[in-house]
Structure 1
Amino acid sequence: MRKVTFKNRNWYTAAILHLPDNFDEAQNYPAIVCVHPGGSVKEQTAGLYAGKLAKKGFIALAYDASFQGESGGEPRYLEDPTNRVEDIRYAVDYLTTLNFVDKNRIGLLGICAGGGYAANAALKERRIRAVATVSGVNIGRAFREANFLETLEAVSSQRTAEANGAESMITNWTPNSCEEAKQAGINELDMLEAIDYYRTPRGEFPTSNNKLLFASMPNLIIFDAFHLAEFLLTQPLLIIVGDKVGAFGSYRDGFDLYQKAASKNKTIHIVNGAGHYDLYDKPEATAEALDKLVPFFKENLLQE
């Protein structure tokens, strides 16, 4: 692995470049950009998949989203879909500057919200030759299912307060513990699994600090990751979901994307017995996902 940075508008993106065994800078390798979920960082599930793909002969790049983790950009903790999609394009830019990367063989893998961002980036970024999602979520759809008009009113009021001297409002992606969630009346599968992954030794990482800028909400609410996919998403597409259905909606979003995408080469694979977060790091579920991802990327990035 190499810790690297690359220019991203007026700041730098922090990333980890995962290299194949017996890496040789004189060779040309296919490359895959790995996009992390909302509230995540490059060392978590995106990094896990990047490391596994590197073992199979790919250059794999996992990076922190702008405004988050070790990457630059202000304001901090902003989750803005337009910026998240542009992050992917800057990551592709960076890969094209590396002599050992084949510029015509770049793929894209996104997990959870990163899956939605990956699909959206592929609509306009033709350097992306193949797209895969794992537990992919259309984050705008998810946020529109939770009192979105009240949220928009609250953000508007908060912006007025901040314009008049108040501190920026920072909220959490999840409760800080399952106990805290249950005290708040939250007992839903995906949320409890999110807490178990992000807020316990299972998957926690210091730079994934559960902070979300409240002003992010309107941009999330109005975003549709799959808008125009029926016209513009033409690259080979692999969608992987688990059949344990939770409220975050990756199962139905997977089928929605599958139905909408214009891709002639598209597949949806269901991992039986797996939930959304099992596909983040559980050995059996991720092994099954990789058993589909590796041949998919080999088929679509290794062809002459």
Structure 2
Amino acid sequence: MREDIEFEADGATLRGWLYTPDDAEEPVPTIVLAHGFSAVKEMYLDKFAEAFAEAGLGSVVFDNRNFGESDGEPRYEIDPYQQVRDYRHAITYAETREEVDADRIGVWGTSYSGGHALTVGAWDTRVDCVVSQVPLTDGLYNLRRLVRADIIGDLREQINEDRRARFRGEDPSYLPVVSEDLLGDAALPTQDSYEWFTETKEKRAPNWENEVTLKTIELMSEYAPKDHVEEISPTPLRMVIAEEDHLAVKDAAFETYERAREPKSIVTLDGGHFDAYTEGFEEASTAAIEWFDEHLGP
């Protein structure tokens, strides 16, 4: 069963869905989840929540602030640490629902929010289990891997000029999330990013918008979930990493897993970053369900 929900979070109303198993007669273990970089909940989070419900798990799914149906200004700006705080607001909201067993709460994140799941798992003692799927674990390292060396200097100067303009009270600058021209301006300058976002917008998420503030890139470069992964223990952690992931680069994810303390588990998927939502969905969702069932079950 799916219900539209909304809750307050640091002055913004965040909106999403509460999923519960159809046959639930008592409070159920519940997973809190949001999407990755600029994506909205219609971009396959409903599929994951449906799979969780079939396995007896509830889900609190929400759009990140400034995106989708959630409030927040400036629109299309991503502050990763604010998104982490919003995960924690969502946990607090989940605790208020009679359908939720507040003593059995998990967090799940994917891509950018895969890093958020790591960070929330390290900081919030209410979290009983963590699944981090195809995660970004080091924003600066990722930026250097995605942006060519002969271009990154120009990007840094654009960021500096945007900061000066905002100091003068001017509107923030924006850039596309993806571009058909892989040498053009884009936050995610890869072919698979362009194909997945544009195709998914057409098929599932017409409300997704292809832009983020330039400040978003600066904030990403300051974000390093890997620095917190050792603090997750003793909360159980499973990382799901795609073998051919060159977007949230796999080597950084594998290194982050090695830094984590027990109890932990790793699942590797065939394919690239976006296969976790499509061709590899069954394997990715099953990996999460099995981990949650093991650690949040009766």
TM-score by length of structure 1 reads: 0.88
* Aligned residue number for residue 264 of structure 2: 266
Correspondences of 1:1-304 after superposition (within 5 Å):
1-24=2-25, 27-138=26-137, 140=139, 141-145=141-145, 146=147, 150-164=154-168, 166-175=170-179, 180-181=180-181, 184=184, 191-201=190-200, 204-243=204-243, 245-262=244-261, 264-272=262-270, 274-282=271-279, 285-303=280-298
> SS at 2:6's partner residue?
strand
Counterpart Cα distance in 2 of 1:252 and 1:164: 40
| Cα deviation 1:35-55 (Å, max 9, x = unaligned) | 211110111132221121111
Distance 2:111 2:123 in 1: 20
- Cα distance change of structure 1 residues 192 and 269 upon mapping to structure 2, 3 Å threshold: same
TM-superposed deviation, 1:233: 4.2
Letter of the 1:281 counterpart: T
With 223-232 and 97-106 compared, the bigger mean Cα shift is at 223-232
Distance in 2 separating the partners of 1:191 and 1:286 = 21
The offset of 1:250, in angstroms, is 4.0
SS of match in other structure, 1:41: coil
CA distance 1:149–1:46, change in 2 (3 Å):
farther
- Looking at structure 1, the residues matched to 98 and 256 of structure 2 have their Cα atoms a distance apart, in angstroms, of 34
Q: How many residues align?
A: 290
Distance 2:222 2:185 in 1: 27
Structure 1 residues 117-176: Cα deviation after superposition (integer angstroms, max 9, x where no partner): 11011111011111112211225131244365643432221232244354321111111x
CA distance in 1, matches of 2:182, 2:13: 39
Query: Against the structure 1 CA distance between its residues 165 and 257, is the aligned structure 2 distance closer, same or farther, given a 3 Å change threshold?
Result: closer
Kept after mapping to 2: 8 A contact 1:32/1:61:
yes
Separation (CA, whole Å) in 2 of partners of 1:149 and 1:132? 35
- Where structure 1 has 5 or more consecutive residues not aligned to the other structure, the ranges are none
Secondary structure at the aligned position of 1:277 is classed as helix
d(CA) in 2 for partners of 1:203, 1:155? 33
- What is the aligned-residue identity percentage? 23
Counterpart CA distance in 1 for 2:169 and 2:190 is 34
Query: Distance between the aligned counterparts of 1:276 and 1:265, measured in 2?
Result: 25
Please report the TM-score for the alignment, with normalisation by the length of structure 2. 0.89
Checking the alignment, whether the CA contact within 8 Å between 1:152 and 1:217 is kept in structure 2 is no
Distance 1:79 1:183, change over 3 A: closer
Maintained 8 Å contact 2:19/2:49: yes
